[in-house]
Amino acid sequence: MTEHEWLTATDPEPMLEFLSGKASDRKLLLFCAACARWNSDLREGKDREDQLTRIEVHEKYADGLVGNADYRRLFSHIRSDTLPEWPWEWARLWTKQADRTAAPPFPLSERSNMLRDVLGNPFRPVAVDPAWRTSTVVALARGIYDEKAFDRMPILADALQDAGCDNDDVLSHCRGGGPHVRGCWVVDLLLGKE
The predicted structure's pLDDT at residue 100: 47
Q: Of 111, 113, 109, 64, which Cα lies nearest the Cα of 92? A: 111
| Boundaries of every domain in the chain | 3-119, 130-191
Report the C-alpha gap between 138 and 156 in whole angstroms: 9
Query: pLDDT tens digit string along 158-172?
Result: 999 999 999 999 999
Give me the pLDDT at residue 84, please.
52
Question: What's the number of CA atoms in the CB half-sphere (13 Å) around residue 28?
Answer: 23
Residues of the chain with pLDDT under 70: 40-45, 75-86, 97-105
pLDDT for residue 72: 75
